[in-house]
Chain A
Amino acid sequence: MTSTADQLFRPADAVINWARKNSLWPFFFGLSCCFVEEATAWGPRYDIARFGSEVFRGSPRQADVLIVSGTMFKKIAPVALQLYEQMSDPKWVISMGSCSNSGGMYDVYSVVQGSDQILPVDVYIPGCPPRPEAVFEGLMLLQKKIDAGERPTRPVLHLPGGSQGGREDYLVDGRTKARDTRGPGYAGIPIRGTAATEPRFAGSRAEVLWTPPAPGLTLSREQEVLAADLAAVYGDEARLAAGPDAPGDMPTFTVAPSRIADVLAHLKHKAPTRFERLEDLTAIDETARKTPVGHEATAVYTLTSLSRATMVRLLCPLQSRDATLPTATGVWSAANWYEREAAEMFGLRFDGHPDPRRLLTHRDWVSHPLRKDYEGRATNMPAFTREDCARLAPVDAAEILGERAKDGDYLLNFGPHHYATHGIIRFVMALRGERIKAMGIDIGYHHRGVEKIGERQTWHQFIPYTDRVDYLSGIANNLSYVTAVEKLAGIEVPPRAAYARVMLSELFRLSNHLMYFGTFLQDLGMMSPIFYALREREMVLDIIETVTGGRLHPSWLRLGGLAADLPEGWKEQVEAFVKIFPARLKEYHAGVTKNPIVKARTKGVGGITAAEATDRGVTGPNLRAAGVSWDRRKAMPYGAYADFDFDVPTRQNGDCYDRYLVRMDEMRESLRIIKQAAARMPEGRHLSADARYCLPQKDAALRDIESLIHHFVNVTRGPRLPSGMAYAATEAPRGEQGYFVVSDGGCHAYRMRIRTPGFANVQALPHIIEGLSIADCVAVLASYDYILPDIDR
């Protein structure tokens, strides 16, 4: 009888299960924020080794547990499947984070609604992101499942029956998996009402609400000179937008599409105010405007003058969404990727572009996602299946390099899944020996369609998404977004909120740079610094947790202020940290900065000149390491930064060592700012009293009915903002992060554009890396500090 035989095998089952569950070898498939917490679980405070899983494996061959952490994208899903299939038997799968479990908050065209649609998941870890402790809960649950559910002796002895290695099937859309956004159990019950999605929420009373017009702009003397100069050279083909609808953040010119390249070149080389940098290039699909504007699309160019600390915007009205514009790549090399992105997202075409391929989406993607008639929600689209994985498999390396790969070159894929890429990005290298002759980059494996989501969430609802754009910088992201919206609507921020924002942003800069310090040196082969850095980072996160209640993504800023007042005890904690951290910094310098091996590996490696960096749109510490003393906090102060005393650290060579040193110095300066902010924290409101756009302070909402009504309206339907546009950039830890918000007088953004530092920074990488060896390439990537959701958005 089988049952007797099974009884016989019980002890052997128990022994095998005991051995397996206590020595799980996790293989990370780290996609986003969750992975940071997963990696933290490996750090000194949490120490994952206690759970029988020593080190994260980077290769599927060496592992038996695949931990998928974070958002699964349609472009990366085939890679995840390939890795799963390359694992040896037996194997289990853990899905970590709400994004990985179900798409989470990213219900958008590029996201797979749950990794269980293509992989058989054994354990789900909920949360966004789950705390490091949750990783242990997940592991322990898997251990229990192995112990209780698996009968491995029979398969081990090649007998029929038995079981091992978790589930083997995966969920099938519509049969075993529900895509109803209301959760399971609603199948068959029709969705009531209308979805509150852009552009209009039918029947909304916001339509009849009056709002004061957006604040206008008074031109300075310099800006008037510039306008006169453009008028003299281009006449009516470059008109200054004027009147009540003119954007209030910077002078805006309407330029004839055929002349745009000339105007850009003029502004860069000849105009009375020189604009050295192409800050951003994007487009707006105008077809769904409440009040039609008379053309189908607008191309938007934003320029920054580093020498005069001023900005300008050029608008190109296009009669058709398929219209052709002359390329700006001849003026700025940075325009390359920006134009490719605008082309794939909106369908525009750029005449003379050197490489007009899709950038973020897969080669075989159909249509242009940021057009207004493109489906925004993945739950409304056909399910992504295993068959789609075959269809959207990553393209061949030779295709990414194109003609630049020569005969005899060895093509190496560096990523998308690799330890040293710091996220899901793919570098393709044509090698001769160890020398990199040519390098191509394929991005978009982490594209979460944030801009599309921004056009569907209300002005307040979008704040949590901004946290996740650069998942290591939390509140620094919020700040860029709320600053832009506040500029658009003219919202005043009370001083207490402004100071608290500065303090929290700087704490996140510290947290980010600490992570940088650790990972940079880990990539160079030093193991200890990451443990020290994680130790200090936890102290920073503890402060952030005391103040905001969250770790990575507090979503704690609001339009006009903060979500809540600073809690009791925040100051003591900040002061304690400020006291001990300088000594820790000194320790870092003693152990690392003078280390001859670190110097040998980074000094003179991967340098970039100031001119080249500016031309390519490199920002932040990477730009300052090249000798450009440009920091938004100093040059064009926003928020309360003008009140603070700090220096802008710079270096001269722009090589790996300098990039590292600039960040080390920035930690010291951030600490100075935090110290000042804590000492001088003003009293008063933490939210603006402007009830039209801002939430009332919570205690007021609980006490009087007026505030309660405003709270209700602004939380549910959202405030109605005046029509207009505004761009605001802040100095985020990795560089300049700008939000360009366009409102057509609704409760949602009409167009939400995010200018991220990573996009431009990474675009410059081939210029830096080509000609180096592979080992040096790793040093450059590690010293460069980019993050994937910020590049792909």
Chain B
Amino acid sequence: MPQPLAYVPLDAPFSPWNPGALPLVVYIGIVCGVMAIILFLSGFLTRRRPSPAKQQPYECGIIPTGPGRFRYPVPFFLVAVLFLLFDVETAYIIAYAAAWPELGLAGYLRMAVFIIVLGIGLAYAWSKGALDWDEEEGL
């Protein structure tokens, strides 16, 4: 019956328990190598025979009209971005409210500045019409 192998820890430089630069470098090296192989194979094994028709964008089988890059009003996107912007402050305010007794007047003043600055931003966005759902022109 073979003896169970004794536990031999990895050399210090490769041990996950002793963070260091070397494991990271080796890891990066492996990743780069794998990526290079994948990119090379997918590039090499594909047969490319470019033709004018193939280079064109697909548009239901016919030749597209006009360029594909232009100003495109996306009202939903704008509203979503504004929501994110003005929603994040909630996280700060709740954290601040929870720590209210410790922070005292100094904290109150700092928070007030933060909210006033945000408020000015909201007023500006509002006055520019960013909250109007304008499909015609976007913002």
Contacts and interface: CB of A to CB of B under 8 A. Distances in A.
Interface of A: 59-61, 79-80, 82-83, 85-86, 88-90, 155-158, 393-394, 396-398, 410-411, 413-418, 426, 432-435
Tell which of B59, B60, B136, B138 has the most Cβ of chain A within 10 Å. Answer: B60
A157 B138 CA distance: 50
| Ranked 5 nearest A-B pairs via Cβ | A85-B53, A433-B135, A79-B61, A417-B61, A397-B65
Contacts of B44: 158
A418 B60 contact: yes
A416 B75 contact: no
A415 B60 contact: yes
B23 interface: no
Contacts of A415: 60
Contacts, number: 73
Contact of B58 (A59, A410, A416): A59
A426 B53 contact: no
Given A86-B53, A432-B73, A433-B73, A61 B64 contact: no
Given A396-B63, A432-B135, A433-B73, A85 B58 contact: no
Contact of A410 (B51, B72, B138): B72
B128 interface: no
A414 B60 contact: yes
Contact of A413 (B54, B60, B70, B136): B60
B54 A85 contact: yes
A158 B43 CA distance: 11
Nearest to B133: A433
23 contacts: A59-B58, A79-B62, A85-B53, A86-B56, A86-B58, A89-B47, A157-B45, A396-B63, A397-B64, A397-B65, A398-B65, A410-B66, A410-B72, A413-B62, A413-B64, A426-B60, A432-B73, A433-B72, A433-B73, A433-B75, A433-B136, A433-B138, A435-B135
Given A157-B45, A433-B136, 8 more contacts: A86-B56, A89-B49, A158-B47, A394-B62, A410-B70, A413-B59, A416-B62, A435-B136
Contacts of B73: 432-433
Given A82-B53, A433-B72, A413 B65 contact: yes
Nearest to A396: B65
B65 A411 contact: yes
Nearest to A401: B65
Nearest to A421: B60
B22 interface: no
B60 A411 contact: no
A413 B58 CA distance: 10
Interface string B24-68: 000000000000000000001101110101101011111111100
Interface residue tally on B, bucketed by range = 20 to 34
B74 interface: yes
Contacts of B135: 432-435
A59 B58 CA distance: 8
Contacts of A156: 45, 47
Given A89-B49, A158-B44, A416-B61, A433 B74 contact: yes
Contacts of A60: 58
B88 to A, nearest CB: 27
B63 A393 contact: yes
Given A85-B53, A89-B47, A432 B136 contact: yes
A410 B54 CA distance: 23
B70 to A, nearest CB: 7
A555 B64 CA distance: 41
B66 A411 contact: yes
B72 A417 contact: no
B79 to A, nearest CB: 13
A106 B138 CA distance: 50
A63 to B, nearest CB: 11
Contacts of B72: 410, 433
A82 B59 CA distance: 10
B60 A416 contact: yes
A60 to B, nearest CB: 6
Contacts of A157: 45
Nearest to B59: A413
Contacts of A83: 61
Contacts of B65: 396-398, 411, 413
The CB with the most chain B CB atoms within 10 A, among A61, A155, A393, A410, is that of A410
A86 B64 CA distance: 14
A80 B61 contact: yes
A398 B65 CA distance: 7
Nearest to A414: B60
Contacts of B51: 85
A156 B54 CA distance: 20
A527 to B, nearest CB: 23
A72 to B, nearest CB: 13
A701 B53 CA distance: 59
A398 B48 CA distance: 33
A630 to B, nearest CB: 36
Contacts of A413: 59-60, 62, 64-65
B124 to A, nearest CB: 24
User: Which of B61, B135, B138 is the most central at the interface, judged by chain A CB atoms within 10 Å of its CB?
Assistant: B61
Contacts of A397: 64-65
User: Chain B CB within 10 Å — which of A86, A90, A394, A416 has the most?
Assistant: A86
Most buried by A among B44, B45, B63, B74: B63
Nearest to A83: B61
Contacts of B74: 433
A435 B73 CA distance: 10
Contacts of B45: 156-157
Nearest to B45: A156
A394 B48 CA distance: 27
Contacts of B59: 413
Nearest to B67: A410
Nearest to B73: A433
A398 B67 CA distance: 13
A342 to B, nearest CB: 27
Contacts of A80: 61
Contacts of A86: 53-54, 56, 58
Contacts of B63: 82, 393-394, 396
Interface in B70-94: 70, 72-75
Nearest to B44: A158
B42 to A, nearest CB: 12
B134 to A, nearest CB: 8
Nearest to A76: B61
A432 B136 CA distance: 6
B45 to A, nearest CB: 5
A248 B76 CA distance: 62
Nearest to A158: B44
A717 B62 CA distance: 45
Contacts of A61: 58
A728 to B, nearest CB: 37
A132 B60 CA distance: 26
A158 B74 CA distance: 45
Nearest to A155: B47
A433 B60 CA distance: 20
A4 B128 CA distance: 75
A88 B135 CA distance: 37
Nearest to B57: A86
